[in-house]
A and B are shown apart, each in its own frame.
Chain A
Amino acid sequence: MTAHSRRLRTDRRQQVLLGAAAGLYAAVGLGVLLMLLVSSGPLLLRVGVWQALLGVHWNPLAGQFGLVPFMSGTLLVTALAILLALPLAMALAVVGARVLRGTGPSLMTRGLTVLAAVPSVIYGWWGLTTVVPVVRRWSGGPGFSLASAGIVLALMILPTLAVLFQDALTRVPPTWQEGSLALGATDDQTLVRLIWPAARANLFRAMLVAVARALGETMAVQMVIGGQTIWQLNLLRPGATLTTQILTDLAVFPPGTAGYRALAVMALLLMAGMYMLVRISERWERTP
């Protein structure tokens, strides 16, 4: 057997192994989706999709499965977290990519990566001891609130977002930046007019990762949001998100009950929302 044909065989084996791993993962993912569809199907068919989703009353023991309070809670909390984290993360990224010199950027990346690995329950604890009292003093309410959850989430996604932003900015080739400077652009103009547009796709993808983390985060949010199931839009009042409500009520509904199906619908909603975001980001990438 020649060395070449041996190498080909190794290649083929690697392909089979990698293919099998990818296939396994795809099967597990599809399995989860299928399970959720099968679990939620009967409920969706019975009361009709829109009635199930658009009700504002959650009282599963009385047969009310309105998910609007949780959809609204998830959207508000995620939006607040992104709004708060975005400028801070961009500031950190700009400092890391353009201001710091020498070992500065890599030190910063290391620090942020460590922060990104802090378990969410620690962020929740911080929220409980710091954010909730501040919001309480501020609003006069109980402090457990959508705003507290948004602030805790913002801090939680900040390191991830900053590292990904910094990476996106440093991926813009230095020759482009030189080209811009040589045309008489200042550093700020180069950032706004060249680097941001050039890094747009990567920046958006970074945001998507942050949104995904914010959407899916459960524990840290549950600790500070208050878990109230009435639909209301005041950020300073308590609320609940899709994930916290799944956590709260999963233990009481065995598979096969209507409540369990409602929780499956909530999980499906999260996946559908994420899929839509991915599609939007793909549209963004189809530009020069």
Chain B
Amino acid sequence: MGKVLALWIAIGSALPAVPRWPAPRSISVMGASSVLAYVKAGARLWQRAHPGYQVVVSGGGSVAGLIELGRGHVNVAMSDIAPRAEWAAGVVGFPLGKLPILFVVNRRAGVDAVGANVLADILRGRIGNWAQVGGQAMPVVVVGRPLASGARLAVERQVLGGRGSFSRFALMQLSNGAVLRTVADTPGAIGFVEGERQLPGVVQLAVGGRSFDRREPNAWPYYAIPTLYVNPGASPAVLDFVRYLARRPDRARYGLVPLPRGQAS
């Protein structure tokens, strides 16, 4: 009996000895999955130049990253969304660039270009059939992302202009990949994905006479701006790390378009 108690006490007192996360020489990054690949690659290079530091990068979504930053559980949050005060107050942002938001349509809809207002009305659910915009007679199926999605927020701001929201009949998919697949498979579907990427089996939509072209990325108006956020009192190492990521020249390889001069912080 006594020995058992002693064992329990030993286990109990050993628990606080487990290293607290984040440890002093480690930098933890959490948030939007849209720039996860870029941040991971950059972190590897930065670590090489800063021996002794360990960077831990994890996903979880923009909001989750900001909330954890606000609570002091991580050093850096990756987010497509501007932080609200209730998530993380007074944090400092370092934009990584612009990530294009591309609109994709199922091939059988027979539409490859629409006006900006028409796009907004389609996403709002006010245009219910592709025949209304010169396509096949086929109902429109809007494929959206959940409330937590940074891309959704950007589309609501930039396309819907804050007036009205997504169709109540929209399907919800949790990731870019799921949206793409759903649009490719579902007749009459329209959706949006973040980042320049291969778009197999779908039609990339031109909006308002413009279509996305990687050689002239700034001509395309719809973007999310993934940003790294840190707390005001961040350590020099953390600041060095985020500044490094915000300036690396090879961002374009990850679909990130550098912001025009003056927009960068």
Asked if A and B form a direct contact in the complex, defined as CB atoms under 8 angstroms apart, the reply is yes
Interface residues of A (CB under 8 A from B): 9, 12-13, 16-17, 20, 60-61, 128, 132-133, 136, 142-144, 222-223, 226-230, 238, 240, 247-254, 256-257
B148 within 8 A of A: yes
Whole-angstrom distance between the Cβ of A277 and the nearest chain B Cβ: 28
Give the residues in chain A near B3, CB-CB below 8 Å.
Answer: 13
Contact B171 A238 (CB under 8 A): yes
A60-B147, A254-B63 known; A228 vs B170 contact (CB < 8 Å): yes
Q: How many residues on chain B are close to A (CB under 8 Å)?
A: 30
- CB atoms of B147 and A61 under 8 A apart: yes
* A132 contacts B147, C-beta separation under 8 Å: no
State how many angstroms separate the Cβ of A261 from the closest Cβ of chain B: 14
Are A230 and B169 within 8 A (Cβ)?
Answer: yes
Q: Among A133, A142, A143, A222, which residue has its beta carbon within 8 angstroms of that of B174?
A: A222
Per a CB cutoff under 8 Å, which of A13, A230, A247, A256 touches B4? A13
| Chain B residues within an 8 Å CB radius of A61 | 147
- Report B-chain residues with C-beta under 8 Å of the C-beta of A143: 185-186
CB nearest to A61 among chain B residues: B147
Known: A133-B185, A229-B172, A250-B148. 11 other contacts (CB 8 A): A13-B3, A16-B1, A17-B4, A230-B168, A240-B172, A247-B174, A248-B147, A249-B148, A251-B61, A252-B61, A253-B63
- Cα of A254 to Cα of B61 in the assembled complex, Å: 12
The docked-state distance in angstroms from the alpha carbon of A247 to that of B21 is 26
26 residue pairs bridging A and B, Cβ less than 8 Å apart: A13-B4, A61-B147, A136-B187, A142-B141, A142-B171, A143-B185, A144-B171, A222-B174, A226-B171, A227-B173, A228-B169, A229-B172, A238-B169, A238-B171, A240-B172, A248-B146, A248-B147, A249-B146, A251-B146, A252-B146, A252-B147, A252-B148, A253-B63, A254-B86, A254-B87, A257-B86
A208 to B3, CA, bound (A): 41
Chain A residues contacting B168 (CB-CB under 8 Å) are 228-230
Proximity bits, B157-175, A CB within 8 Å = 1, else 0: 0000000000011111110
In the assembled complex, which residues on chain A have CB atoms less than 8 Å from the CB atom of B4?
A: 13, 16-17
Query: What separation, in Å, do the CA atoms of A252 and B145 have in the docked complex?
Result: 12
Q: Which residue of A lies closest to B67 (CB)?
A: A254
> Which chain A residue shows the least CB distance to B182?
A144
Q: How far is the CB of A125 from chain B (nearest CB, A)?
A: 10
Cβ contacts B171-206/A at 8 Å (1 or 0 each): 111100010011001110100000000000000000
Min Cβ gap A256→B in Å is: 8
Which listed residue (B8, B63, B178, B189) contacts A223, Cβ 8 A? B178
A132 to B181, CA, bound (A): 12
Q: Does B64 contact A (CB under 8 A)?
A: yes
CA distance A133 to B184 in the complex (A): 12
Asked whether B60 is an interface residue with its Cβ less than 8 Å from the other chain, the reply is yes
Q: Which residues of B contact A257 (CB under 8 A)?
A: 86
Chain A: minimal CB distance from B186 (Å)? 5
- Which residue of chain A has its CB nearest to the CB of B68? A254
Bound-complex Cα distance A142 to B86 (A): 38
CA separation between A20 and B64, bound complex, in Å? 34
